[in-house]
Amino acid sequence: MPSTTPPDDRTPDDAPTRPAPAHSAVGSPVVDTVHGPVRGRDDGVVKVWRGIRYAAAPVGGLRWRAPEPPQPWREPMDAIRVGPACPQPADPRIPLDLGAAIGEDCLNLNVWASSDTEPGDRKPVLVWVHGGAYVIGAASQPLYHGRELVRRGDVVLVTLNYRLGAFGFLELTALSSGRRRFDTNVGLRDVLFALAWVRDNIAAFGGDPDRVTLFGESAGGGIVTTLLGSPAAAGLFHRAIAQSSPATSCYGTERAIDVAEQFLGHLGLSPRDVDRLPDVPVAAIVEVSKHVFDDVPARRPGTLAFAPIVDGDIVPDYPVALARAGRTLPVPLVIGTNKDEASLFRWMKSPLLPITPDAIKKMFADIAAEQPGLRLPTETQISAAYRRQRGKRLGVGVASDIGFRMPSVWFAEGHTAVAPTYLYRFDWSTPTLRLLRLGAAHATELPYVFGNLDTPKDPTFTLGGRRTGRQVSQRIRTRWINFAVHGRPDGPPGEPRWHAYDRAERPCLLIDRRDRVVRDVDEPIRLTWGSEVLSFR
């Protein structure tokens, strides 16, 4: 969604932090971190520190390596401008305002707090992981400005960058010749490293390192569900919110190696040349990443080119399999999707989700070939199930449920055995979005979660709905904040009680013009798909 960015939120092409004058004025709070002091900005309502470096620049020999600590500094570093976003392709179908320049030196984060927050206040912490199909996006997007979330003083917010696309999710370890070392899942390792930074530093910003809620959307939600199954994440967060998680978009090493070889081939390199990759120009990596990103789902509908892999290390098994086996971290979880997830991909004519009949048939054929013992629903059963769902179109409905809804339901069913789990569905859409046949499409909940509804150029309110939208936003922010504070996603007074998910009642909160809790809202589709289709893809 188009939005404007304050001039002071832009960043030059240099490092994410810069030396500042030694004096500290009112309105320029200085905080000591384990790496050195940082100076932010306080406007009397909120304090914000932007572009704080949490890891060394992942360049040269550190490409495709686990993050390492930055060099410490002694003088206060200026943290009033956002740091660079990870290099990424531009897509005219997605007019994304990153709010920042791009550059490989992208491992930085932002901290938001109300102006009355002081060190030692130990307020709950929300840590945001942005989405973007693991290839685009940034913590600096105006959509993720934290002012409205923190201004009441209930929480401290952290938004972070991590490596994307080939920089973060290209599997090279199996191709290494031994002359250079590569690590798996470096994008996930970045998030873990940032969470360790939060643990070690957030108390100085007024946050509580023992009450950290990790939340994210789309690929960010996928990172949340993946890290819920990672022993390396134990103790780094204590609650989790997964919005529109593609929980089954986590693959085995064989498929990841195929993508890596395809990537090398487009660069004119063979697997024997893998050691040359750290010297390849950034522009070439981005260009080839875009080509591979488009090609993989066109050949294998329903799959992503770049995503977490089961490496036996930080990802011991497929996330849904871990949840079903009761092996996820025992932290309370809010998980859910939007009602019309796939309509965005149809509107964009994106190949990421299988929407056309041919793409859906191709995907089913791939599943049957990979998992010959799996009993799949027939085309007749699927058509009948979706005809019973009023207003649910077959192509978009199947794509939404395969890509997002059913993986989230499967994950909730498993995770509820180890911790309280709350299932939701975001149904609200403005008249404009309904007219465009987008409805509650993928990512449309984001401005409501952050309270950023008043962007002048936001086209979604052209035909009205802003007043109701503000009420929806107030309710969802209250629930998310209460979950971070108390571990229960309670709404404002008078709103329906949202009970934890269980296999008997299967309660689901429907977020719309009015919130309501519905029993087993997914029953027809859930029974059609069963509990195994795609859960281990």
Q: Which residues does the annotation mark as catalytic?
A: 218, 341, 442
Selection from 387, 171, 189 nearest residue 260 by Cα = 171
List the one residue out of 94, 129, 124 whose CA is nearest residue 109.
129
DSSP 399-447: HHIIIIIHHHHHHHHHHTTTS-EEEEEE----HHHHHTT-SSBTTTTHH
Q: Helices 253-266 and 282-299 meet at what angle, rounded to 10?
A: 130
Residue 353: how many other CB atoms lie within 10 Å: 26
Phi then psi for 290, rounded to 5 degrees? -65, -40
Neighbours of 493 (CB within 10 A): 6
Distance CA(152)–CA(156), nearest Å, equals 10
DSSP-derived letter for residue 125 is: E
97's CB contacts (< 8 A; 6+ apart) are 2, 3, 4, 5, 141, 142
Q: Could you give the C-alpha distances from 29 to 40, 215, 409, in angstroms and in order?
A: 5, 27, 44
DSSP 151: T
Q: How many residues does the chain have?
A: 537
Query: How many Å apart are CA 232 and CA 353, to the nearest integer?
Result: 31
Rounded CA-CA distance 238/334 in Å is: 12
Reported for 277-285, long-range contacts at CB under 8 A and 24+ positions apart, including other chains, are 277/63, 277/64, 277/172, 278/60, 278/61, 278/63, 278/64, 278/180, 282/87, 282/104, 285/87, 285/165, 285/166, 285/167
Asked whether 188 and 319 are in contact (CB, 8 A), the reply is no
Residue 41's DSSP bridge partners are 48
CA quadruple 440, 444, 446, 449: dihedral positive or negative?
A: negative
